[in-house]
Structure 1
Amino acid sequence: MAVRQPKRRIRNEFTLGEGAAEYDGLLREAFYETWLYRAIVSRDDQRCFLIGRTGSGKSALFRQMEFEHGDHLIRLSPEDLSLTYIAELQVVRFLKSLDVHLDPLFIALWKHVLIIEIVKHRYQVDSPEAKQRFLNGLMDRIKRDKSKQEALKYLEDFDGKFWQETDERVKEIIEKFETQVKAEAGAKIGAGLASFSGNAGDTVMESGEKRRELVNRFQRLVNETQLPRLNKMERVLNEDILDSAQHYTYIVIDDLDRDWADEQITNDLIRCLFRAVMDLKRVENLKILVALRTNIFEALDFGRTGGQEEKFRGLSHTLRWSKNELRDLLDNRVSTAAQRHGLTDVKSMDELLPRTNPTRGNPLEYILSRTLLRPRDAIAFLNECFTLSNGKEKLTWTAIQSAESAYSKNRLLALRDEWKPTYPGIEELLTAFTRSPNTLDWDEMRRRLAECAVLIAEPDFPGRTWLTPIAEPLWSASSSDDTAEVHQPLIRLLHNIGFIGCITTVEEAIGSERRQVDEPAIYNNDQPSFADHVSNLRRVSAFTVHPAFRPALDIRD
């Protein structure tokens, strides 16, 4: 008599890992290698900026690089770069208030940090003795090149904290610069540290001519930062330190999307980091990769960099996922997770999903249509489903629908958190669509957008600065104005963050008649620039909130 095999059971603790790479125990074993991963590790691909939305997998790519190329990889975080320290420093805010152009200082600062990190990594410099051995050995190699010897002396200027943590070296450089500025200011106007304040640019000098003279002296001080010697160090780096493919080095910089004390100064710091990375591309056996959230990249002000924005974009990867790629990623994860839980016969996601339903359709299509096509969304939704599996052999449609409510609430909170650094108070615009119809015609959309526009009159609304110019066309519009043009700024915002989709209609022949038929809604992940063009909005017949957020806002299909 054949032994009956026990049915497999999905236990409630079954998961597909975590959406955040730093906590994801499945990442290494279940990593899904895309073309983008191959591109960023490629020594031939020159693109070095990785731009993507929260949850799109930027950090996961860097973690996998650490697993595979750890001996040749340096990882830097915002804490290493002391961005908050610099942004809050009184002397920096003082010079910024005087409109002193700080780019030369910031570019030199980042080059210094990156060069020292490479030297430390290459020669294992972790003590004064190790530093001296490195300097003596390298000085002996370049003894016939006076230019390189001069460059190497640059490193000796920072012997106090050379081998210490990166943030300590950053602070040392900034403190030296602060001392120079205080000395310059003190010699001219007798100002001490107490003179530095956020409004110093308005009060420190009564005479416009004297103020201009002071600004010019500070600007010269900034411009004389160690750039010439640093440029020579780049040559030493290329020819004598990373002098062969054996010493090929990656530097990855992630998490530059935190909340900072001073957004404008941080904007300048990140933009100058990009400039420093581009300059160091001259080093043949070095690849520096910087990951940045889409909204932070779009907010960078390239105006003072002489048309550099096009170059930055040309050296950027934009991280997007197709449904097929997400299916493959989920198959990788479910196969790995199943092995860990004893479900050795499970090889793909479809094996744990219910059958296609005539009403709801394909279950994986249903789930993916409720994501913004990002790994974190798909993993979060399915993990919610697995917590409701109740020991069954497969997920059920009931479990999927029950999980959708909690998932939607979390996605709405995540959307708020993603965009509130750029748009404080954005959640109040989102909740203006609570209990809206599933499909909003233009009349309904105008009413909801008007609710958004009046938020600028609320005394406690924190987003007046950004909402006022966006809502202004609604206040000044007349009845004869183009509706699409008047409402485009607000529609573009909501479309760009992935909150709404735009529905267009086409004329089709149905039997002997011709009728207007709605096309599928166009979301940001379908056509990112759709709402940027008023001509596109003139073709729109209706709008819809993305399915990911409908249950949280009590919008019923």
Structure 2
Amino acid sequence: MVQGVDSVRQLFFGRDDAENDLTDGLLSSAVFRPNYAYREVLSGRKSLIIGRKGSGKSAICRRLAAPDGHPGACVLITPDDAAGDEIRRFELQGVTADTAKSLIWRYVLAVHAARHLALHVRAAHGRRSSRAVGALRAFLRANGESDDARLYDRLRRGARGLQSANLSLKAFGIEAALGVNGASEGARASRQLEVLEDGVADAFASLGCAKTHPPLLYLVDQLEQVWTVDADSHALVTGLLLAAKHITGRYGRAVRTALFIRADIYDTLNFSDVDKFHSDEIRITWSHDGLRDVALARARASLGAELTAEQLWGRVFPPSVRGEPTAEYLFGRALPRPRDAIQFLNACRSVADERGGPVITEEDVLAATERFSRWKLQDLAKEYLVNHPFLRALFAMFENSGYFVTREVIETRFEVRRQALHENFPAYTDSLTPEGVIHVLYEAGFLGVWRGGDVVYAGGIQAPPGPGEDEFHVHPCFRPALNSLGTERMTVQQGALLRSDVDGACERLRRLLDRAPLPAPTHTETLGEVLSIETEALRRKTQGRPPTSAQLRNVATHFQTLADTLRQSGHVSHPVTRRLLDEARSLTRTAGGAIGSGQGSNSEG
């Protein structure tokens, strides 16, 4: 225990969401960890922040919006259901849905800029007003936009004005409602917006805002609150991207945007200009070091003490759990994002506090592991409920079984459930295939793929599993909830048995080739094939990778092919030919299958 502090009773790692964290003071500048994504947004180099739920998007957003965050003025926009419905319903004859939604977003952003200029001209520039700012004030009054309205009300007024071409533009020298003879609704709306945006641009230019102070920053967050799997939701988000790109070009360096979008939403977007946003994108990723930094900063804040990392991970928490350093144990069993880390840490603290202990023990961490795993399995299904409502039904494929699975095992388990899944989720039959299931489970972080001597989970620039990648691991986060804890030892034992079969078969064949050699060229070729198989088995052994049943059958098929080749060369009754067939049958039985023995056959039964 940290001297003088009742550590567990006072220890607290924060709330699950950035809004409440801000209320509790844990997003203050002293506690908030300014990661790379935050620094890139603050500098203006990136404007499109993409991350999974709980990865810290809203924390960055709220930190930028704080008084000591972004040095300039900020406008925070968080659409609710009513605002989302209004945008989804907005249509204009003569333009695409994406373009229509971009126009209503441009209206909202222009009005926010006009209101900002009307309020800040004296404070920022020492002037009572200017002609251009006066025109904006007149526009706001004439169109009922002078008040601090809800986003829904602003959208409703803008939609009515753009669809009927009756925005009052008198402030900009246009007396009547603006129309273009024979033009579509979309063309008329676009022309009205151009007049308004010209007025905003003139005001920024007349005040020299781009040169005299930091830009106005639009922060748009919580888009998942208005997202559904339909074309209008797609257009809502796409339209926002197009509008943000447009206004930063139109208003120059006087404004910037920062859009915070969940990865599962952004990755579904498909529109012609998507390639124009790559330079604006940044994806939030977290390392164990980053999460340790978050944990330490929050522990210090809650305890009010200059806690060291050694004290946190050696006195408040136990030094190790099941022989593994505690921090590695914890962060290796959570998805790499701050929300999961905070929840796991708080669970450990709660278990210890319920027990009445002054510090967190190894037993407390183990009990919290069970609790946390159940939470996260439920949370994962909810996180992807909109895009993949079938996800919860897939978890049953991995219950009470080993966490190590092969593509073949997944295919077998899926086939048992295919009909029920297709009946229960008829709109998703294209995704509900073995390959589709593997892709979804990998992207969700539920499965990792064996690659390059290690298990790789989704995140950052990792590519999805390819056709030749056949070994997968359930993430340690979900294993306790699935009752997969006891199977690691069993898998190792089974792997040792399978390796022994392959090693033994190759050794017996080598000895036989020494005693009963074939003609020189044939002997050399056959021995080379056997040694190749043995070398691959040894390589997998040194990597700790147990061979799969499919790979065992592949070795058996290889032996069968070698035997067929020898028989076709006239060595039908040679001891090596017979031994190859015997070893092939033995390996196939071990793998749980049968192999044909007819001449020239290398098919699996």
TM over 0.5: yes
Q: Deviations over 1:301-320 (max 9, x none)?
A: 31xxx3x1111222111011
Q: Tell me if 1:525 matches 2:459.
A: yes
* Residue matched to 1:11: 8
Using the TM superposition, give the Cα deviation of residue 124 of structure 1 relative to its aligned residue in structure 2, in angstroms.
Answer: 2.3
Shift in CA distance, 218/399, structure 1 to aligned 2, threshold 3 Å: farther
Using the TM superposition, give the Cα deviation of residue 267 of structure 1 relative to its aligned residue in structure 2, in angstroms.
Answer: 1.3
- Paired residue for 1:497, among 444, 459, 464? 444
Shift in CA distance, 219/255, structure 1 to aligned 2, threshold 3 Å: farther
- Paired residue for 1:464, among 404, 426, 429? 426
Q: Deviations over 1:31-71 (max 9, x none)?
A: 1122221211114x2x2110000000001111111222476
In structure 1, the gaps of 5 or more residues are 143-148, 182-216, 475-486, 507-518
Shift in CA distance, 297/237, structure 1 to aligned 2, threshold 3 Å: farther
The aligned runs of 1:504-523 (5 Å cut-off) are 504=451, 519-523=453-457
Using the TM superposition, give the Cα deviation of residue 328 of structure 1 relative to its aligned residue in structure 2, in angstroms.
Answer: 1.3
Please, which moves more after superposition, 438-447 or 317-326?
438-447
Shift in CA distance, 153/122, structure 1 to aligned 2, threshold 3 Å: closer
Q: Distance in 2 between matches of 1:291 and 1:450?
A: 39
- Verify the 8 A CA contact 2:299 2:307 in the aligned structure 1: no
The aligned runs of 1:533-544 (5 Å cut-off) are 533-534=466-467, 538-540=468-470, 542-544=471-473
- Paired residue for 2:220, among 253, 259, 276? 253
- Verify the 8 A CA contact 2:374 2:481 in the aligned structure 1: yes
Q: Distance in 1 between matches of 2:59 and 2:455?
A: 30
* Residue matched to 2:115: 120
The aligned runs of 1:97-116 (5 Å cut-off) are 101-116=96-111
* Residue matched to 1:301: 270
The amino acid across from 1:85 in the alignment is: E
Task: Say which SS state the counterpart of residue 202 (structure 2) adopts.
Answer: helix
Shift in CA distance, 63/157, structure 1 to aligned 2, threshold 3 Å: closer
- Verify the 8 A CA contact 2:222 2:260 in the aligned structure 1: yes
* Residue matched to 2:591: none
Q: Deviations over 1:278-301 (max 9, x none)?
A: 112222121110100001101123
* Residue matched to 2:243: 276
Q: Distance in 1 between matches of 2:264 and 2:401?
A: 27
* Residue matched to 2:201: 235
Q: Distance in 2 between matches of 1:116 and 1:325?
A: 39
Structural RMSD (CA): 3.3
Task: Say which SS state the counterpart of residue 321 (structure 1) adopts.
Answer: coil
The amino acid across from 1:41 in the alignment is: L
What TM-score, normalized to structure 2?
0.68
Q: Deviations over 1:431-456 (max 9, x none)?
A: 33222212123442222332453334
The aligned runs of 1:49-64 (5 Å cut-off) are 49-64=48-63
Shift in CA distance, 291/218, structure 1 to aligned 2, threshold 3 Å: farther
Shift in CA distance, 280/451, structure 1 to aligned 2, threshold 3 Å: farther
Please, which moves more after superposition, 387-396 or 330-339?
387-396
* Residue matched to 1:78: 79
Q: Distance in 2 between matches of 1:219 and 1:299?
A: 33
Q: Distance in 1 between matches of 2:291 and 2:351?
A: 22
- Paired residue for 1:286, among 236, 255, 261? 255
The aligned runs of 1:422-437 (5 Å cut-off) are 422-437=387-402
- Paired residue for 2:336, among 340, 348, 373? 373
* Residue matched to 2:346: 383
* Residue matched to 2:498: none
Q: Distance in 2 between matches of 1:446 and 1:8?
A: 54
- Verify the 8 A CA contact 1:104 1:223 in the aligned structure 2: no
The amino acid across from 2:431 in the alignment is: I
Shift in CA distance, 11/103, structure 1 to aligned 2, threshold 3 Å: closer
Task: Say which SS state the counterpart of residue 394 (structure 1) adopts.
Answer: coil
Shift in CA distance, 393/155, structure 1 to aligned 2, threshold 3 Å: same
- Verify the 8 A CA contact 2:133 2:203 in the aligned structure 1: no
The aligned runs of 1:138-287 (5 Å cut-off) are 138-139=130-131, 155=139, 158-165=142-149, 166-177=151-162, 220-225=184-189, 226-233=192-199, 235-240=201-206, 242-246=209-213, 248-260=215-227, 263-282=230-249, 283-287=252-256
Using the TM superposition, give the Cα deviation of residue 407 of structure 1 relative to its aligned residue in structure 2, in angstroms.
Answer: 0.6
Shift in CA distance, 105/153, structure 1 to aligned 2, threshold 3 Å: farther
- Verify the 8 A CA contact 1:56 1:374 in the aligned structure 2: yes
The amino acid across from 1:332 in the alignment is: A
Task: Say which SS state the counterpart of residue 323 (structure 2) adopts.
Answer: coil
Shift in CA distance, 230/180, structure 1 to aligned 2, threshold 3 Å: closer
Q: Distance in 2 between matches of 1:34 and 1:316?
A: 15
- Verify the 8 A CA contact 1:52 1:58 in the aligned structure 2: yes
Task: Say which SS state the counterpart of residue 547 (structure 1) adopts.
Answer: coil
Q: Distance in 2 between matches of 1:234 and 1:80?
A: 29
- Verify the 8 A CA contact 1:248 1:285 in the aligned structure 2: yes
Q: Deviations over 1:90-138 (max 9, x none)?
A: x74xx7xx9962333322221221121122123329xxxx9xxx99943
Q: Deviations over 1:154-182 (max 9, x none)?
A: 9369522343414312101212455579x
Shift in CA distance, 451/383, structure 1 to aligned 2, threshold 3 Å: farther
In structure 2, the gaps of 5 or more residues are 167-180, 487-605
The amino acid across from 1:14 in the alignment is: L
- Verify the 8 A CA contact 1:411 1:548 in the aligned structure 2: yes
- Verify the 8 A CA contact 1:435 1:554 in the aligned structure 2: yes
The amino acid across from 1:124 in the alignment is: L
- Verify the 8 A CA contact 2:11 2:299 in the aligned structure 1: no
The aligned runs of 1:294-443 (5 Å cut-off) are 294-302=263-271, 306=272, 308-339=273-304, 349-351=312-314, 352-356=316-320, 359-389=322-352, 390-443=355-408
Shift in CA distance, 157/404, structure 1 to aligned 2, threshold 3 Å: same
Q: Distance in 2 between matches of 1:399 and 1:355?
A: 13
Q: Distance in 2 between matches of 1:430 and 1:527?
A: 26
Q: Deviations over 1:339-385 (max 9, x none)?
A: 1xxx565555314221235x431111011111111011111001000
Using the TM superposition, give the Cα deviation of residue 425 of structure 1 relative to its aligned residue in structure 2, in angstroms.
Answer: 2.8
Q: Distance in 2 between matches of 1:41 and 1:374?
A: 21
Using the TM superposition, give the Cα deviation of residue 335 of structure 1 relative to its aligned residue in structure 2, in angstroms.
Answer: 1.5
Q: Distance in 1 between matches of 2:127 and 2:233?
A: 34
Using the TM superposition, give the Cα deviation of residue 338 of structure 1 relative to its aligned residue in structure 2, in angstroms.
Answer: 1.8
Aligned residues: 452
Q: Distance in 1 between matches of 2:183 and 2:370?
A: 56
Q: Distance in 2 between matches of 1:260 and 1:229?
A: 31
The amino acid across from 2:119 in the alignment is: Q
Shift in CA distance, 240/426, structure 1 to aligned 2, threshold 3 Å: farther
Q: Distance in 2 between matches of 1:257 and 1:353?
A: 36
Shift in CA distance, 179/119, structure 1 to aligned 2, threshold 3 Å: closer
Shift in CA distance, 442/251, structure 1 to aligned 2, threshold 3 Å: closer
Shift in CA distance, 345/103, structure 1 to aligned 2, threshold 3 Å: closer
The amino acid across from 1:245 in the alignment is: T
Task: Say which SS state the counterpart of residue 299 (structure 1) adopts.
Answer: coil
